[in-house]
Amino acid sequence: MPHWDLAIIGGGAAGLSAAAAATGLSTLLVDPMGGGELMNLGPLRGLDTEETGPDLAARLLGEAMDAGAELAIGEVQSLTQTPDGWRLATADETHIARAVILAVGLAHGTLGLPNEAEMEGRGLSHCAACDGPLFQGQPVAVAGTSRWARLEAEELTAFASHVTLIAPGEAPPPIENVAILRGRAIGLEGRDGLDAVLVQPDDGGPPIRVPAQGLFVQTGRRAALGFSPDGLRRDADGRAAVDASLATSLPALFAAGEARSGFESSLPAAIADGKRATASARHALTPG
């Protein structure tokens, strides 16, 4: 069974930058594809770069390879503590690592509606940059309250005939050419694809039918930590609780990026987290 100094689970911005900072350590990076959320992003906001998401993913992957990391394509299914270190298993391989960084990001959210799974890919999407052009000249909606949900709505105005942002709670700031409906999606209508979203407005009025051929779900995302060991402390959203050095409640186990508690969602923060987690792991691995 291969032994490593460091294993990084998740190859998005946080995991790739963690690997890029691991020069001198034998490092394994496990991810189903590489790039994570970056692969869903076109132009990047808040970074001083002309790169798109996939460009940045390719650059970070190159830096990780230059630092000597090895990439295993797969999904970690279990992580257990052994006397030799952390044992991580994918469907095909098992590895032992002295320290591990959890950089698994957040899983797509769901609305909890009965026919949601069958609408996936037939109107329901999680990525405006990927699927927005499919809805040229058609009405679409976005469900979610985060600033990324608002950005998705704004991006979709380039393609769609009409964009509605369905956002429960406090009124979000206005967005040009986007109708904001304060409420919750409670139903999806359509036979061979989505035709409309049924929304329960916050004001307690009767449900409103919002015509939409596409619905972009940006709500209900949770940390993808189902494989993680017993004893890992988590916050209310299921993210790994960490201290200032990004150490979790378990020895030699760190968490970075969207997967950890208190993370302020952005690419610069994910990149900084990756580097910090590796620095802490390196410290934990250094005797004395």
Ligand X SMILES: Cc1cc2nc3c(=O)[nH]c(=O)nc-3n(C[C@H](O)[C@H](O)[C@H](O)COP(=O)(O)OP(=O)(O)OC[C@H]3O[C@@H](n4cnc5c(N)ncnc54)[C@H](O)[C@@H]3O)c2cc1C
DSSP one-letter string for 214-276: EEEE----EE--TTPPTT--B-TTSPBP--TT-B-SSTTEEE-GGGBTT----HHHHHHHHHH
Query: According to CB under 6 A, which one of 4, 6, 7, 15 is a site residue for ligand X?
Result: 15
12: contact with ligand X by CB under 6 A: yes
27: contact with ligand X by CB under 6 A: no
Distance, in Å, from the CA atom of 264 to the CA atom of 256, rounded to the nearest integer, reads: 11
Contacts of 118 (CB under 8 A, 6+ apart): none
What SS3 state is found at 157?
A: coil
In the bound complex, what is the minimum distance in angstroms from residue 135's beta carbon to ligand X? 16
User: What amino acid occupies position 63?
Assistant: E
- How many residues sit in the footprint of ligand X (CB under 6 A)? 35
> What character string, x for contact with ligand X (CB under 6 A) and - otherwise, covers 37-66?
xx--x--xxxx-------------------
In the bound complex, what is the minimum distance in angstroms from residue 9's beta carbon to ligand X? 5
User: What amino acid occupies position 131?
Assistant: D
In the bound complex, what is the minimum distance in angstroms from residue 40's beta carbon to ligand X? 6
75: contact with ligand X by CB under 6 A: yes
214: contact with ligand X by CB under 6 A: no
C-beta of 119 vs 271, nearer to ligand X: 271
Query: According to CB under 6 A, which one of 4, 148, 159, 254 is a site residue for ligand X?
Result: 148
178: contact with ligand X by CB under 6 A: no
In whole angstroms, how large is the CA radius of gyration of the chain? 20
By CB atoms closer than 10 A (0-12, 13-18, 19+), residue 84 is exposed
Query: According to CB under 6 A, which one of 67, 265, 279, 284 is a site residue for ligand X?
Result: 265
Beta bridge pairs of residue 96? 3, 87
Distance, in Å, from the CA atom of 110 to the CA atom of 188, rounded to the nearest integer, reads: 12
C-beta of 85 vs 144, nearer to ligand X: 144
> What character string, x for contact with ligand X (CB under 6 A) and - otherwise, covers 244-263?
-------------xxx----
Closest to 269 (Cα-Cα) out of 14, 8, 9: 14
Query: According to CB under 6 A, which one of 6, 9, 142, 253 is a site residue for ligand X?
Result: 9
Distance, in Å, from the CA atom of 255 to the CA atom of 238, rounded to the nearest integer, reads: 12
13: contact with ligand X by CB under 6 A: yes
Q: Which stretches of the chain bind ligand X, using CB under 6 A?
A: 9-15, 30-32, 36-38, 41, 44-47, 75-76, 103-105, 148, 151-152, 224, 227, 257-259, 265-267, 270
